[in-house]
Structure 1
Amino acid sequence: EGVPFYPQKEYQCGPASLAAVLNYWGQHVTPEVVAQAIYLPRLKGSLNIDLWRYATAQGFDARMQEGSLKELQAHLASNQPVIAFLNLGFSFFSIGHFLVVVGLDPDQQVVIAYSGTEKDKRIPLREFLSDWKKTQYWSLIITPKKET
């Protein structure tokens, strides 16, 4: 609830996902500004490490981790959107894709995500987990820095 949606431009799933989560936490930034910093034209995409670096440079706590369905549920229950990296391709031809998980409907067995140009896309849980497993369940958890 309350996560801004930015439809991605071609190959811009990383910047769009990152902009959505950073704006959710109060950092006003556009996907275009994020893309200038992290998008790599020769790769037609962004590197996982660069999403983490950008969030950290903006003053956020950011953790890259191997996630799980249980952790995903816990973050969502704490109102923390999660950037997940999926492989929509095959073992011999990968197609990496970042999306923002904003909800989970266990009754319907779907993950609700901002993906590409679709807001609140309902992805069958089995499909999501299969594509997520191919990236070792890569997740990026971004939260405001705690005051020390």
Structure 2
Amino acid sequence: MLKNSSPKTTMYITRRVIRFLKFSVALTLLLFLPNCSSIYTAKIPHQSADIPEKYFLKEFPFYKQEQYHCGPAALHMVYLWQKKKVNYQQIIADTFNTKLKGSLQRSLVENIRKNGMIPYTIDNYQQLTTEIAAGNPVIVLQNLGLELIPRWHYAVVIGYDSVNGTVTLHSGAQKNHVVGWKVFSRTWIRAHNWGMVAVPVTAIPASVNLSLAYKQEYLNEIYGFSRNGHFNLSLTAYNTALKKWPDNQTAIIGKADSLYNLKKIDEAIDTLKKAIENHSGSAVIYNNLAHILMEKAGNDKMQLQQAHTYAQKALALGNKKQDKNCPAYKQTLQEIKKRLRIK
């Protein structure tokens, strides 16, 4: 008891101490709840009607992580599942940040792309369960702490049970770790619902079918191969996409660009000419066709005239639609005119 303090002051201080202790206990529980609480059932929300109520990836490989290496370990397990031979020490070298004592999401994304697979990110429960049901494990980022005191952790979701409200993960040192949906959801939401699947260039993520926006995100990821100069991979991936969506303009343009960069000029030209039949209003297709024909033509005036016609069409369509790419279309036309000595 404090000296020279009145009973009222003592009671006030005591109440403050009690409140502080209650807060400390509550904070401790919040910090350790995801690790200590295994089952806390709740129905999994927004699940597609055409997938099973429960699904589990049998015989999914487990690799026990070393301290701070949850990211590399998650990638390693996914590569093993996909039968992709990737050296684990190289994964660590590529993705682990010694200063941060962890791995950034973009390093995992780039590592998957580096190893010839498509990294496809997800951000909701429907995508998560759809991918699992299709046989695609999902790497997820969790915050096992609080917003102000985060404890970041990567795990691999390999199963779900909407009847009992649980998910199954390979996480850290725990194999087939069953977690209640509410507990998992809480930790996943605190990491902004970041998740990722890795699929071969000959496959398409299952959740792409859920939305046009998801399809476009998938096609954007393919372009990552082209951006890094891996045109054989981008060509295979675009061909895979075109088997499913034969008239998709993004995939057609991407395929032609890959062929062009692989020096398969005639195939690139044929791809774009065929595309005009179904995309006669596409300024981009006309412009790209004009550009490739110009490069192929050299000093051949007949081919340059054909390129000139396509370039004029591209600019006309671009101006009509107020296309932001009009400066590029105009530049293509000017280059062709210069070769033809047209003012």
TM-score, normalised via structure 1 length = 0.94
Question: Offset at 1:107?
Answer: 2.1
The question of 1:79 aligning with 2:140 is answered: no
CA distance in 1 between counterparts of 2:112 and 2:99 reads 22
CA distance in 1 between counterparts of 2:170 and 2:86 reads 17
Local SS of the residue matching 1:16: helix
Question: Offset at 1:41?
Answer: 1.3
Give the root-mean-square deviation of aligned CA atoms: 1.2
CA distance in 2 between counterparts of 1:92 and 1:52 reads 26
The question of 1:18 aligning with 2:75 is answered: yes
More RCO (CA 8 Å, sep 6+): 1
CA distance in 2 between counterparts of 1:108 and 1:9 reads 31
Q: Over alpha carbons, which structure has the higher Rg?
A: 2
User: What are the ranges of 5 or more consecutive residues in structure 1 without an aligned counterpart?
Assistant: none
Letter in 2 for 1:108: N
Q: Using a 3 Å threshold, how does the CA distance of structure 1 residues 29 and 104 change in structure 2: closer, same or farther? A: same
Query: Which residue number in structure 2 is paired with residue 139 of structure 1?
Result: 195
Question: Offset at 1:30?
Answer: 4.4
Q: Number of residue pairs matched?
A: 147
Query: Which residue number in structure 2 is paired with residue 33 of structure 1?
Result: 90
Identity over aligned pairs, percent: 27
The question of 1:99 aligning with 2:128 is answered: no
User: CA contact under 8 A between 1:6 and 1:31: conserved in structure 2?
Assistant: no
CA distance in 2 between counterparts of 1:104 and 1:139 reads 15
TM-score, normalised via structure 2 length = 0.42
CA distance in 2 between counterparts of 1:102 and 1:30 reads 22
Query: Which residue number in structure 1 is paired with residue 112 of structure 2?
Result: 55
Question: Offset at 1:29?
Answer: 2.5
Q: Runs of 4 or more off by more than 2 Å in structure 1?
A: 29-33
Higher strand share: 1
User: CA contact under 8 A between 1:15 and 1:39: conserved in structure 2?
Assistant: yes
User: What are the ranges of 5 or more consecutive residues in structure 2 without an aligned counterpart?
Assistant: 1-57, 203-235, 240-343
CA distance in 1 between counterparts of 2:98 and 2:160 reads 33
